[in-house]
Amino acid sequence: MARLYEMCNEIDSEDILLDREELTEEEKAKLFSAMKEEGVIQKRQQRSSGNKEKNTERKPKRNSKRYVAGIAVAAALAIIITPNVSANAAYAMSQIPILGNVIKMITVREYNYDSERFEANIKEAQLVQEDAVEQDMDSAVKEQTKESLQTINEDIGEMTERLIAQFEEEVELGESYGGVYMEPQVVTDTDTWFTIRIIVTQVAGSGSEYEYFYHIDKTTGKIASLKDLFVDGADYMTPISEDIKKQMREQMAEDENLYYWVDDEITEMNFQTIKEDQNFYLNEDGQIVICFDEYEVAPGYMGLVQFTIDDSVVSDILKMDR
């Protein structure tokens, strides 16, 4: 199974990257246009030149409302578009024998709206379960996985309906400028763990961006949380929180443009500890990545922030089967 995961990583890192160079001119143009529209290209140019002036070519009101918030959405979109247009990578993945139950993310609906004052792009994802190809999964785990996916799908569906209803109410009032964007992405898919992240950006007077994470422990089929990575009763919150504070201070010492609420004069604003339902995911190296929404541990200009926790910080309390 370890070799299977290595093969998947090799395809992700080599074949898909190669396929990016094989995009048609039309596909390249569309990707460039999308990134340009959301301000990604201008932002990179400004960073390299040191010019912090805002782009004035677009309408000021729409640009000021969406500029910073739209960058993350465009970046997530670019990440998802490329693998989807890679036929060779998709074929290669289909040739790998699957030894366990597979969870896949599919887009079941896309809500779009575009006018002079309002814009929306909401993608509703659902998780589906596929049976094993070479061996059957334990029936109890399979049934539990089915129930977990149903719970997650219902939650995503309710979230989608709520965002659309709120947006349409704003459009109906027509009193300001606004937008909403919802982008799902699979961030972890190993033999034992599956995570989907949903990035939501709302623009109404000011921009706000936040994330939802849903985790499935494939060994049990249950919806999981951060505590499920650790032995029962272990204090995982303290070492992780202290490591995050350490990283905050180190980053600020290295870059004066970064600022976290950790040693602020207004002490009640300072970050103290992660939450029991803390947002997180596992990266490709299996490391825990702790995620914070805008304004949660830093000023709004910092956007969504995250901290990778080295295994050594929690190695003595981690479950061995993760």
CATH domain 101-224 topology: Heat Shock Protein 90 (3.30.565)
Query: Are domains 101-224 and 225-322 of this chain identical in fold?
Result: no
Q: How many Å apart are CA 204 and CA 65, to the nearest integer?
A: 8
**pTM surpassing 0.75?**
no
Tens-digit pLDDT profile for residues 16-41: 333 333 445 454 444 445 444 544 33
3-class DSSP state of 235? coil
pLDDT level of residue 182 (50, 70, 90 thresholds): very high
Given CA atoms 126, 132, 136, 137 in this order, what sign does their dihedral have?
A: negative
Domain 225-322 has CATH 3.90.640.20: yes
Sorted by sequence, the CB contacts under 8 Å of residue 233 that are 6+ apart come out as none
Average pLDDT over residues 173-194: 92
Burial 139-174 (b: 16+ CB within 10 A, else e): eebeebbeebbeebbeebeebbeebbeebeebeeee
Domain definitions of the chain by residue range: 1-96, 101-224, 225-322
Taking a C-beta distance cutoff of 8 angstroms, is the pair 53, 25 a contact? no
Supply the mean pLDDT for the chain: 76
Q: How many Å apart are CA 119 and CA 117, to the nearest integer?
A: 7
Task: State the pairing for strand pair 280-282/288-292.
Answer: antiparallel
| Cβ count near 231 (within 10 Å) | 12
Q: How many CA atoms lie within 13 A of 318 on its CB side?
A: 15
Q: How many Å apart are CA 301 and CA 209, to the nearest integer?
A: 11
> Which position has the higher pLDDT, 243 or 7?
243
Taking a C-beta distance cutoff of 8 angstroms, is the pair 308, 300 a contact? no
Tens-digit pLDDT profile for residues 184-243: 999 999 989 999 999 999 987 667 899 999 999 999 999 999 999 999 999 999 999 999
Tokens 């040191």 belong to residue:
50
pLDDT level of residue 265 (50, 70, 90 thresholds): confident
